Amino acid sequence: MIRFKNLTKRYEGGGGISDFSFEVEEGEVFGLVGSPGSGKSTALRMLMGFELPTKGRCAINGKDCVNMGIALHRDIGYLPDKIALPSALTGRQFLLSNAELRGMKNMEYLFRLAKKLDLEVDERIGSMTSASVQKTGLVCAMMHNPPVILLDDPFRNLDSKARSVLVDLILEEKEKGKMVLLTSDTVDIADLTCDRVGLLDKGNMVYLGDIENVRENMFRRYLVQFGSSRAAMEFSSEPFEIKSMKDRNLVVSIQGELLPLLRALSKYYVTSIEPVPLSLEETFVHIYGGEVYA
């Protein structure tokens, strides 16, 4: 079990986290969602023992992360927010050197992960794209089959194909009974993988609950392009909130499941439908019904 108990971290210049208390069980994927500077990375660094609490504590399987941090690293796979890898090494050299440090004997899973993520391991890290660097970090975090996986913004820089593969990998780890704690700037990412989420605003946990509850209360917007402006006008009389309409393009807002919208659209000639991202502030207000902290 990952456990935060009244954990607080304050910095002289501001920031940090305040009075964190929640747990992550075996076989659970938990998402910390918040904008940059909300405290997500601080929470993960404290689990790694890289930051000392101002008060409170955090522990993994009953072991305090301050006193037992080094020992706990054997059981943790960690992807930091900002990855700095040795540019002179190839991906293969870097991963194998880390495998040696961990005492790994079997490299089969390492290379299986790299293949799934379409990572060219023989490319020099200094020549890699940001996506390939991210994939290298992900393989390094997961290759030793750790029971605890901490992923700080793991979907950053990945294209849609790699994101889909990573979703599958995270769900596979969940099925193995792993504890996975990940961070994200958007609720949409957490919706793909997480059982529960905590929404953070300036270090405060403003919402903690099951992803199903979030999904039911979450508003989504879609840009729908109809075959004609007349069809768009006719659809505007349907019982949905229309945010804007121009010619044959219409932005519609819905709460909860997408199916009712799709059923209504099936009666019209639609050429495309695309999600319109909500700001994180809008998402917070919709989900927990309050204003974000000033």
Give the type of residue at 290: G
pLDDT at 291 over 50: no
> What is the per-residue pLDDT across 68-124, written as a single tens digit (0 to 9) for each?
888 899 999 999 998 999 999 999 999 999 999 999 999 999 999 999 999 999 999
Provide the residue ranges of all domains of the chain, joining segments of one domain with +.
Answer: 2-215, 218-288
Would you tell me which CATH number, out of the four given (3.20.20.70, 3.30.70.1520, 3.30.70.1560, 2.60.40.10), belongs to the domain 218-288? Answer: 3.30.70.1560
DSSP E strand boundaries for the chain: 2-10, 16-24, 28-33, 55-60, 63-64, 76-79, 148-151, 179-184, 196-201, 204-210, 219-226, 241-246, 249-255, 270-276
pLDDT at 58 over 50: yes
> What is the per-residue pLDDT across 208-241, written as a single tens digit (0 to 9) for each?
888 877 766 667 889 999 999 999 999 999 999 9
**Greater model confidence, 285 or 109:** 109
Predicted local confidence at residue 292, as pLDDT: 39
Q: Would you call 142 exposed, middle or buried from its count of C-beta atoms within 10 A (0-12, 13-18, 19+)?
A: buried
Predicted local confidence at residue 46, as pLDDT: 93
Residue percentage of the chain with pLDDT more than 90: 70
CA distance 289 to 282: 10
The CATH code for residues 2-215 is 3.40.50.300
